[in-house]
Structure 1
Amino acid sequence: KLGLERFHSVAILGFNSPEWFISAVGAVFAGGIVTGIYTTNSPEACHYIAYDSKTNIMVVENRKQLDKIMQIWNRLPHLKAVVLYKDSIPERHPNLYAMEEFLQLGDDISDTTLDDIIDSQKPNQCCVLIYTSGTTGKPKGAMLSHDNITWTSAYCSRVGDMQPAEVQQESIVSYLPLSHIAAQIYDLWTGIKWGEQVYFAEPDALKGSLINTLKEVQPTSHMGVPRVWEKIMEKLKDASAQSGFMKKKMLSWAMSLSLERNLNCSSSSDLKQFWTRLADYLVLAKIRNALGFSSCQKHFSGAAPLNTETLYFFLGLNITLYEAYGMSETTGPHCLSGPYIYRQHSCGKPAPGCRVKLMDQDREGNGEICFWGRTVFMGYLNMEDKTKEAFDEDGWLHSGDLGKLDKDGFLYVTGRIK
């Protein structure tokens, strides 16, 4: 009704919330393209993305974000409306709507009209834009298709052993930026696929409040980047340093038993296994509960490799961190670890429907990691030259990362091509 054109963008500028999810799904149903914008972006950075993606509708969280858009609106020829979903509108402006009045605009649109738009969409059409950080130039809009999103949500999450709601009710905490593909695919699209309960953290989650939310929710699955896991480790170490002598000794004893068991799971004696279970019951289970992980069966890490210290620290808490590897251009995860596919320091194996090969390997087996399969993106918006650079003549997407494969097909990321 506001004139959203096919393959034009609905840009969302705000912290994780139900309104973010509703706006994203509504954009796809209406034949538009979901485009997340980081809340930390400057007005000019917002302008670049909104202009490049031909944003028709902008959904913003609060007055702070609205102020950015008001500064650039007159330079956005495709922008037809702005929707504010948390604060009240400070002053009336043509085509500026509060979320409630915006939703009311659709009351007289028939379900048949909506169904016709949904039915007209094709698997190979773009529905999500993910803008890269732009550290080596202007941000690039990676175009992800319906097939990219639905395939990754369905099959990559199964490697991680995510369960449909009729088998087990999965619950997660949404806190990482949804403008990044990792959080968007994990929180939103996988959440829809399996009927997960999604709890939204406070906006200051990464500044310290995340653990409070985790303790309240006790999720069944949790995903973090290495820095999140490192912060949890540092917080625990600080708490341990301030505790009494006996508590320190008990924790050290319990963690050493757990680490040994997880590193050498098949070689422990019956007596050692008994002490390990006792230590877990008396000490480690209480710590996991204090972290919000008493019900958490799957702990994932992505976006960068974990260091050995972090990996071993959590194994000492009897928490296995399953690593995933991919990029915006592979709809997030292309290789994954999980309860049934796991090796320490490896990011797992390619997801179903996906392949990996190593180009120009050295004597030690290190080569450039290249991707092929259903997760691989359509190309960069308005950047045909950059798209051609990303692929070789056989259609393999080049990552710029170095890796090696073991004899069983597990991938290890070993560095970056200089």
Structure 2
Amino acid sequence: MGQTTIPAVVRDAAAKFGSAEALVDGELRLGFRTLLERVQVVARAFVARGVEPGDRVAITLPNTHHWVLTALGALYAGATLIPVNTRFTAAETVDLLVRGRARALVVAADFLGADRHAAIVATGAQLPDLRTVVRVPLEQPHRPVPGTLGWDEFLAFAEQVPEAEAEARADAVKPDDVSDILFTSGTSGRSKGVLSAHRQAVDVAAAWADCGRVTDGDRYLVINPFFHSFGYKAGILVGLLTGATIVPQAVFDVRKALEVITRERISVLPGAPTVFQSLLHEPDRGDLSSLRLAVTGAATVPASLVRRMRSELGFEIVLTAYGLTEAVVVTMCRPGDDAELVARTSGRATAGFEVAIHGDPGEIVVRGPDVMLGYLDDPEATAKAVDEDGWLHTGDVGELDAAGYLTITGRLKDMYICGGFNVYPAEVEHALTELDGVRDAAVIGVPDERLGEVGKAFVVGSGLTADDVIGFCRERLANYKTPRFVEFLDELPRNASGKVLKRLLSEEKA
């Protein structure tokens, strides 16, 4: 894609795609030209509120048009975005606001019955950098709160700033300027703020769109949260680059998703494997004939799921991908790859990345122009993650085949040692997903006096016993890899990006 910026992409989309639908959120339908106009209004409002180039704007909203307009407007005004996980507690959110020195916060006033801003205030935290709080009403009419602005009140500030000033701000944004600080999921330890440049955000989105052959004829249901790079960069930015229509869903509800797919003729639907499992479990799915492209990713994507997504959900193309906050999209499968390859691997390098396997047990390392700029205010962690030769150490373990396709075999931190042998849970989990009746599975190591550690499987499924699960593994895996214990759960604890929170399972293992 070359040297460009997100404001330039918004302008280019308006010029190229005009009145074609850019964003559909319930009753709201915006064309690309109108989207640009709305973004310019938000940018002027931020300028009026004293947001300077390089200042940080935090967003804690679900997937709605407000998120899209806030993010693009802040970036247009030269600010840096801090997307906040909507599942974070008030204390976790405050931590990000403090560390990010956020100048403005746009927050859901009422989401899933909770007042996010009131919870932040209740912590009693001092936020001296925070000058503007915009409370967005999503479920109830706007209720004035002292010291804050409603959405419409905020937009009215745009009248104080000439259009030319906002355009000058957008012109001044450079490709190497920091576009966003995405905080890692914090599945182990404190989350880290990952700094990315405008050129990098655009590059990875363009590569993702190219692999999926996304065009202006596509309509893209974005279930992946916007606060995650999968929803923001492989979602919003992909739509702007290609002319695809973005249709956000604030909370994943399988029945509502099916209704939207039918009504809006959705063709592109990425998501975690559990999204597609949920769709397959619905007996009455409506008209899914518009579906074309699915992109998913995890260490455990069973080939049977890929085949069913094609045969029962009607996807022409099912791709798996591998990425992380520090590099966004590293590898992707390509259209035409067979079901076994899509399930077994996470594809081959994209977006100019080099992928290599480092040392024993085989850590995945990646290098390229889209590796993060570094961690926020943490040079020590940055130096630990990115070595002197520019290789980002991912903490994932994997293998590369002769064609450059990457298979993820586990996480370094998830590995446990059974009787002197290294066990990577991802391999065991992948085997379990092939057992009829298993919908989801996670494996951890638990203490054992004789062997040091042994495997414990947490299984979501029906019609199975522990003996069924252990017996199935014994037929397919070495003895030391076979779990010794099985616990059945209604669902696995996951973060918003779909990763299993194994620390929660570990806390319950005793």
Same fold by TM (over 0.5)?
yes
Distance in 2 (CA, whole Å) between partners of 1:311 and 1:8 is 44
Distance in 1 (CA, whole Å) between partners of 2:272 and 2:382 is 27
Distance in 1 (CA, whole Å) between partners of 2:291 and 2:132 is 41
Deviations 1:60-96 (A, max 9, x none): 12242232233357511111011122244434413x1
2:204 is the counterpart of 1:152: yes
Q: Please state how far the C-alpha of 1:351 moved relative to its aligned partner.
A: 0.9
Match of 2:106 in 1: 59
Match of 1:263 in 2: none
Deviations 1:192-221 (A, max 9, x none): 1112211232x4424653223223223111
Match of 2:264 in 1: 217
Match of 1:385 in 2: 380
Over 3 Å counting, the alpha-carbon distance change for 1:195 and 1:80 in structure 2 is same
- Decide which of 172, 187, 190 is 1:138's aligned counterpart: 190
Q: Please state how far the C-alpha of 1:322 moved relative to its aligned partner.
A: 0.5
| 1:404–1:414 CA contact under 8 A, matched in 2 | yes
Match of 2:126 in 1: 75
- How many percent of aligned residue pairs carry the same amino acid? 24
- Supply the AA of the counterpart residue of 1:125: D
Distance in 2 (CA, whole Å) between partners of 1:50 and 1:404 is 39
2:67 is the counterpart of 1:16: no
Distance in 2 (CA, whole Å) between partners of 1:304 and 1:118 is 40
Match of 2:464 in 1: none
Match of 1:310 in 2: 305
Q: Please state how far the C-alpha of 1:148 moved relative to its aligned partner.
A: 1.0
Match of 1:110 in 2: 162
Of structures 1 and 2, the one with the larger relative CO (CA 8 A, separation 6+) is 1
| 2:363–2:393 CA contact under 8 A, matched in 1 | yes
2:334 is the counterpart of 1:338: yes
- Supply the AA of the counterpart residue of 2:150: A
| 1:219–1:292 CA contact under 8 A, matched in 2 | no
Over 3 Å counting, the alpha-carbon distance change for 1:77 and 1:226 in structure 2 is same
SS at match of 1:90: coil
Over 3 Å counting, the alpha-carbon distance change for 1:73 and 1:5 in structure 2 is farther
Distance in 1 (CA, whole Å) between partners of 2:270 and 2:205 is 14
2:174 is the counterpart of 1:174: no
- Supply the AA of the counterpart residue of 2:56: S
Match of 2:364 in 1: 369
SS at match of 1:75: coil
| 1:305–1:413 CA contact under 8 A, matched in 2 | no
Deviations 1:254-291 (A, max 9, x none): xxxxxxxxxxxxxxxxxxxxxxxxxxxxxxxxx8xx36
2:411 is the counterpart of 1:405: no
SS at match of 2:194: strand
SS at match of 2:395: strand
Q: Please state how far the C-alpha of 1:346 moved relative to its aligned partner.
A: 1.9
Distance in 2 (CA, whole Å) between partners of 1:150 and 1:82 is 28
Distance in 1 (CA, whole Å) between partners of 2:205 and 2:125 is 38
1:290-309 map, 5 Å? 290=285, 293-309=288-304
Over 3 Å counting, the alpha-carbon distance change for 1:303 and 1:384 in structure 2 is farther
| 1:217–1:292 CA contact under 8 A, matched in 2 | no
2:87 is the counterpart of 1:40: yes
Q: TM-score, normalised by structure 2?
A: 0.66
| 1:13–1:38 CA contact under 8 A, matched in 2 | yes
- Supply the AA of the counterpart residue of 1:323: T
Distance in 2 (CA, whole Å) between partners of 1:295 and 1:152 is 26
SS at match of 1:100: helix
Distance in 2 (CA, whole Å) between partners of 1:74 and 1:81 is 16
| 1:174–1:187 CA contact under 8 A, matched in 2 | yes
Deviations 1:125-153 (A, max 9, x none): 21111111212221111111101111111
Q: Which has the higher helix share?
A: 1
Match of 2:352 in 1: 353
Distance in 1 (CA, whole Å) between partners of 2:253 and 2:149 is 30
Match of 1:242 in 2: none
Q: Please state how far the C-alpha of 1:329 moved relative to its aligned partner.
A: 0.6
Over 3 Å counting, the alpha-carbon distance change for 1:292 and 1:187 in structure 2 is farther
Match of 2:22 in 1: none
SS at match of 2:158: coil
Over 3 Å counting, the alpha-carbon distance change for 1:197 and 1:296 in structure 2 is same
- Supply the AA of the counterpart residue of 1:177: P
- Supply the AA of the counterpart residue of 2:332: L
SS at match of 1:300: strand
SS at match of 2:96: helix
Over 3 Å counting, the alpha-carbon distance change for 1:207 and 1:66 in structure 2 is farther
- Supply the AA of the counterpart residue of 1:338: R
SS at match of 1:221: coil
| 1:128–1:144 CA contact under 8 A, matched in 2 | yes
Distance in 1 (CA, whole Å) between partners of 2:61 and 2:198 is 23
| 2:181–2:196 CA contact under 8 A, matched in 1 | yes
Structure 1: which 5+ residue stretches go unaligned? 240-286
Deviations 1:373-399 (A, max 9, x none): 132111111111111111122110011
SS at match of 1:38: coil
Distance in 2 (CA, whole Å) between partners of 1:304 and 1:38 is 23
Over 3 Å counting, the alpha-carbon distance change for 1:353 and 1:292 in structure 2 is farther
Over 3 Å counting, the alpha-carbon distance change for 1:54 and 1:303 in structure 2 is farther
| 2:219–2:267 CA contact under 8 A, matched in 1 | yes
- Supply the AA of the counterpart residue of 1:360: G
Distance in 2 (CA, whole Å) between partners of 1:34 and 1:303 is 27
Match of 2:241 in 1: 193
Distance in 1 (CA, whole Å) between partners of 2:383 and 2:277 is 37
Over 3 Å counting, the alpha-carbon distance change for 1:392 and 1:76 in structure 2 is same
Q: Which runs of 4+ in 1 moved over 4 A?
A: none
Q: How many residues align structurally?
A: 355
